Amino acid sequence: MTGGPDPTTPLWRGAVVLRVLTLVFAVGVVIRHFDTYARPGLAVAVAAVMVVWTAVTTWAYLDESARWPWFTGLDLAVCCVLMTSSRLVLTHDQLRYLATPLLPTIWVTGAVAAGAVRGGPAIGTIFGIVISAFNYGVRGFVDTDLTRDAVLLVGAGYVLGQAASMSRKAAERLARALRAEAATAERERLARSIHDGVLQVLARVRKLGAELGGEAAKLAVLAGEQEVALRALVTAGPPESTEDGTADLSSRLQVLATDRVQVSVPATPVPLPAAKVAELVSLVREALYNVERHAGPGARAWVLVEDVGDTVVVSVRDDGPGIPAGRIEAAVAEGRLGIARSIRGRVSELGGTVTLETAPNSGTEWEVRVPR
């Protein structure tokens, strides 16, 4: 649910209208066959119960706060009991040979409709099967007409349930789109404010610090890094997960850009399961941390994301001195498991592969391939 109005309210209203129309038909059938029933007084009582229950369900299904799941099950139970009461009202010939309608007749389709709207296609189908089973059981035989009714009940339950499910999903997608639109508008407003204030100050600090030199030059470098990072943050898309549990890898990685880290991503989102995105972002952070720690203060790094259909490729490359041969194995032997656990371990858990290309004075490149 989206937290707003129930998107299936029009379907609930349709179920109520169906219940009222079928009630009129059922009461007419009782009046038509009144003189032929074995217990006409009981038939009147059953008709009265249908009228009262229609009023109760009308109130419950039109009031969004009263659409309790258990009440829909109770609705089905009441319909089944009233169908069973036909064995006490109809004569043996009416049940077996004259094809006299059961007392509730098509009124019971209202329960199938309510179940479908409440629980979707699976519940709608189950409600249709239950009503059909009682129809067979009360009659005591199976024929073409009863089977036709069963097909219609089950089919209607499935189709109406599918419509209810699609209505809910459409409402969720609309709500998510509205939230994304609002988030984008807010980010644009903040971006304008930051550009007119914070970014201009950082740019001025960077310029003046570089001119002054000394300790001020170090502040200039830090200001430049924060300026680049802040620009990447306000220009990246909102990192919100979608209703199916996926997130955009591109927007999560763009915020890692600095003056020494360049991030290149596809123009379109790269959706992956949110948990997998989180692991890949942590992996890239670890690789960039290794660049900062081992490649030297002047080293630059490049992060590249490629979407190749059923596989997502993430590459992290730097222009540092490279990793000496045997250095990784030696680090593992010394108990330092940064690469073994943070990079290779994560890729293994994600079901992907990782390759390392490095050579003296030729930089280092990690290429991670993760299946969708």
DSSP track, 76-87 = HHHHHHHHHTHH
The C-alpha atoms of residue 115 and residue 361 are separated, in whole angstroms, by: 69
The full length of the chain comes to 372
pLDDT at 168 over 80: yes
The C-alpha atoms of residue 344 and residue 303 are separated, in whole angstroms, by: 17
The C-alpha atoms of residue 112 and residue 116 are separated, in whole angstroms, by: 6
Residue entry with tokens 């409709």: 113
Structure confidence at residue 59 as a pLDDT band (50, 70, 90):
very high
Based on the fold, state whether residues 284 and 336 are members of the same structural domain.
Answer: yes
Ranking 10-19, 123-132, 248-257, 311-320 by mean pLDDT, the lowest is: 248-257
pLDDT at 43 over 50: yes
Instruction: Count CA atoms within 13 Å of residue 247 on its CB side.
Output: 18
Please check whether residue 318 lies inside any domain of the structure: yes
Structure confidence at residue 2 as a pLDDT band (50, 70, 90):
very low
Based on the fold, state whether residues 25 and 76 are members of the same structural domain.
Answer: yes
Closest CA to 148 of 132, 137, 160: 132
pLDDT (0 to 100) of residue 206 = 73
What tokens appear for 60 in the block?
């419950």
Instruction: Count CA atoms within 13 Å of residue 232 on its CB side.
Output: 22
Q: Which of 183, 218, 235 is the last residue of a domain?
A: 235
Based on the fold, state whether residues 204 and 99 are members of the same structural domain.
Answer: no
3-state secondary structure of 351: coil
pLDDT (0 to 100) of residue 55 = 96
pLDDT (0 to 100) of residue 288 = 85
pLDDT at 78 over 80: yes
Please check whether residue 344 lies inside any domain of the structure: yes
* Of residues 364 and 124, more confidently modeled: 124
3-state secondary structure of 158: helix
The C-alpha atoms of residue 220 and residue 211 are separated, in whole angstroms, by: 9
Count of structural domains within the chain: 3
Based on the fold, state whether residues 154 and 207 are members of the same structural domain.
Answer: no
The C-alpha atoms of residue 111 and residue 127 are separated, in whole angstroms, by: 7
Average pLDDT of the segment spanning 247-268:
85
Please check whether residue 190 lies inside any domain of the structure: no
Q: Is the pTM of this model over 0.85?
A: no
Please check whether residue 147 lies inside any domain of the structure: yes
What tokens appear for 202 in the block?
């950082």
Based on the fold, state whether residues 35 and 138 are members of the same structural domain.
Answer: yes
3-state secondary structure of 64: helix
Ranking 3-17, 95-109, 190-204, 351-365 by mean pLDDT, the lowest is: 190-204
Please check whether residue 185 lies inside any domain of the structure: no
Q: Which of 187, 207, 235 is the last residue of a domain?
A: 235
CA-derived radius of gyration, the chain: 34
DSSP letter at 238 equals P
pLDDT at 366 over 70: yes
Average pLDDT of the segment spanning 269-277:
87
Angle at 107 between CA 84 and CA 137, to 5 degrees: 30
Please check whether residue 211 lies inside any domain of the structure: yes
What tokens appear for 32 in the block?
């038509």
Residues 6+ apart with CB under 8 A from 24: none
pLDDT at 162 over 70: yes
Based on the fold, state whether residues 34 and 162 are members of the same structural domain.
Answer: yes
Closest CA to 79 of 60, 41, 45, 105: 105
Q: Domain of 329? A: 239-372
Based on the fold, state whether residues 44 and 103 are members of the same structural domain.
Answer: yes
Average pLDDT of the segment spanning 250-269:
85
The C-alpha atoms of residue 351 and residue 334 are separated, in whole angstroms, by: 27
Please check whether residue 2 lies inside any domain of the structure: no
Based on the fold, state whether residues 154 and 271 are members of the same structural domain.
Answer: no
The C-alpha atoms of residue 94 and residue 316 are separated, in whole angstroms, by: 80
Bridge pairing between strands 311-318 and 364-371: antiparallel
* Of residues 244 and 77, more confidently modeled: 77
Each residue's pLDDT tens digit, 295-344: 777 788 999 999 988 899 999 999 888 776 656 665 555 555 456 566 77
Please check whether residue 30 lies inside any domain of the structure: yes
Based on the fold, state whether residues 225 and 148 are members of the same structural domain.
Answer: no
Task: Say which amino acid occupies 337.
Answer: L
Residue entry with tokens 């001195």: 321
CATH assignment of the domain containing 299: 3.30.565.10
Report the chain's terminal Cα–Cα distance, integer Å: 27
Strand order in the sheet with 301-307: 261-264, 301-307, 311-318, 364-371, 353-358
Based on the fold, state whether residues 314 and 352 are members of the same structural domain.
Answer: yes
Based on the fold, state whether residues 217 and 278 are members of the same structural domain.
Answer: no
Q: Are 109 and 21 in contact (CB under 8 A)?
A: no
The C-alpha atoms of residue 91 and residue 74 are separated, in whole angstroms, by: 28
Based on the fold, state whether residues 243 and 223 are members of the same structural domain.
Answer: no
Query: 316 — phi, psi (to 5°)?
Result: -125, 115
